[in-house]
Amino acid sequence: MTYLGGVLDLTAVAWLGFTLACASVSVLAYPSMRPRLVELRPQQRAIAIAVWAALPPAGGLLLTAVCFLPSILSLAGVTADHCLDHDDGHPHMCLIHPPETSGLTFAGIVAATLVFALAQLHREVREHGRLRRVLRTLDRASETDDAHNVRIFDSPIPLAFAAFLLRPRVFISSRLALSLPRQLLDVVIEHERAHVRRRDRLICAAVSVLSRLHVPWIRARLLQDLSLACEQACDEEAAVRVGDRLRVASAILAVERMCSGLPALPHQAVSSFGGTNIVPRILSLLHDAAGSGSSGRRWTWVGMIMVALTILASDSIHHLTETILTPFTR
Amino acid sequence: MTAPVGPPFLGELEIAMMEHLWATRSSDVETAHRSVGRSRGITLNTIQSTLQRLYRKGLLTRRKVSHAYVYSPHVSREEVMAQLVSEVVTTFSGGRPEPMLATFVDLASRAGRGTLERLEQMIERKRDERARGDR
């Protein structure tokens, strides 16, 4: 029976509750926020989606920290001891007067979180381990094009991709390198290099892990939206490098036409207009600039104001959380 | 020895050995060592164990000539590359975003011919508008 156990127990229960609450808010809010996210520049949209993906665990941490803010301010001598104002009928989320408990609730929640995290990690490693070994073999069997610093591999399929998380590399198939006109191939290479510069693979992997606390269908939508945002951000970078947005649009169309001549792949679907990600990418390139910077600044302000309001409301959040936690700690 | 069912996972030395055998069609351990091992400072034993490993993976066949094995490729370079690329393409075509890699165009869904035509027309129209604006 320790005071530390009491603080840890309340912290763990509060974080779990807030995390679940943030995931629930996300289910309700994300579908209506999506059209507004589309207004953002692709680079900003990718950041916004990554932040949204991290919302349940990060929001849980922020709100839990806010719950302890009144007692932290009391400890720092900024405010008077707030615990003297209320009775002992509920647990105190306080560093000065925490309830005496064994810390077993904390230990249980930490153990459950660890088991969940390890199970997810095992799943990710198993899913990606085979692909990583395939890519490493493909990398070793490829030749380097020194002029463009890309790996060229023998294949009749027109493929171009950036792969690997920590040391990303660009791969181009021999078919694409030989068949695509030089000025369009330059676009493809610039697009893939942009993925490497932006560390998109690493960011997508981090988001894939962080978004595990969302409900599955929201998570799937977040990952798809992030994927499109990354592709469009790389289209924009390629357009700046080659100095022609229409050339980037033409390159996407040319590669898509080459792929449409291939036999159907397993699970592959033929999409109607708008069903495949090349449509929003090309439509975006046909405009002079994708999204607006002012929307990005507005979202940053909204985020900062929400964090500020949360901190200002710390006393109310603190008391409300204590009241909600009362039945769970008796 | 049967050919491997899935894509082979090969190390750097294994790839170099396969490249040597694809080029020469067959080789004993000593020839392979002269060609691949010496420049890398690798011993004859390492070359021998690498060839045995490739044989066990189903990528090589071997026959005994006098006291030594002579190894030959059991699969062509094209077959190995096709298996590797097929694995990558299958991953993409699953429709689930894959954090480790992203292709230039979405392999999970193909745009129909009508969609491609419409996009082509839109690009051409924009190009014409731009040309008129430049004049």
- Both tokens of residue B13? 């030395």
Residue B91 CA, chain-centre distance (Å), reads 15
pLDDT at A314: 84
| Contact between chains at B103 and A159 (C-beta distance less than 8 A) | yes
CA distances from A218 to A93, A221, A224, B41 (A): 32, 5, 10, 54
pLDDT at A131: 83
CB-based contacts of B48, cutoff 8 Å, min separation 6? B29
Do A159 and B127 meet the contact criterion of CB atoms below 8 Å apart? no
Q: Closest partner residue to A271 among B97, B111, B119, by Cβ? A: B111
pLDDT, tens digit, 9 for 90 and up, residues A12-67: 888 888 999 999 999 999 999 888 888 888 999 999 999 999 999 899 999 999 88
pLDDT of A119 strictly over 80: yes
Do A198 and B128 meet the contact criterion of CB atoms below 8 Å apart? no
Give CA–CA dist A44/A48, Å, rounded. 6
Q: How much of chain A exceeds pLDDT 90, in percent?
A: 35
ipTM of the complex: 0.83
| Contact between chains at A138 and B119 (C-beta distance less than 8 A) | no
Q: Closest partner residue to B110 among A200, A223, A271, by Cβ? A: A271
Neighbours of A32 (CB within 10 A): 8
Do A16 and A323 meet the contact criterion of CB atoms below 8 Å apart? no
Mind telling me how many Å the CA of B54 is from chain A's nearest CA? 14
Beta pairing partners, A143: A152
Closest CA to A192 of A146, A159, A156: A159
Q: Which residues of B touch A276 (CB under 8 A)?
A: 106, 109-111, 115
Q: Closest partner residue to B116 among A136, A162, A257, by Cβ? A: A257
pLDDT, tens digit, 9 for 90 and up, residues A240-254: 999 999 999 999 999
- Both tokens of residue B95? 């429709």
Q: Closest partner residue to B110 among A165, A220, A270, by Cβ? A: A270
Q: Closest partner residue to B102 among A132, A230, A286, by Cβ? A: A230
Give CA–CA dist B69/B51, Å, rounded. 10
Number of Cβ pairs closer than 8 Å across A and B?
Answer: 183
Beta pairing partners, A145: A150
Higher pLDDT, B131 or A239: A239
Q: Which residues of B touch A161 (CB under 8 A)?
A: 88, 101-104
DSSP tag of A61: H
pLDDT of A272 strictly over 50: no
Secondary-structure breakdown of chain A: helix, strand, coil percentages, each rounded to the nearest 5: 70, 5, 20
Q: Which residues of A touch B15 (CB under 8 A)?
A: 137, 140-141
Closest CA to A46 of A239, A233, A201: A233
| Contact between chains at A259 and B102 (C-beta distance less than 8 A) | no
pLDDT, tens digit, 9 for 90 and up, residues B31-87: 999 999 888 999 999 999 999 999 999 999 999 988 889 999 999 999 999 888 888
Mind telling me how many Å the CA of A189 is from chain B's nearest CA? 9
The values of phi and psi at residue B7, to 5°, are: -70, 140
Give CA–CA dist B70/B22, Å, rounded. 14
List of E strands, chain B: 27-28, 60-65, 68-73, 101-103, 109-111
Mind telling me how many Å the CA of B88 is from chain A's nearest CA? 7
CA distances from A101 to A58, A328, B97, B118 (A): 26, 13, 45, 68
Do A137 and B7 meet the contact criterion of CB atoms below 8 Å apart? yes
- Both tokens of residue A189? 């290479």
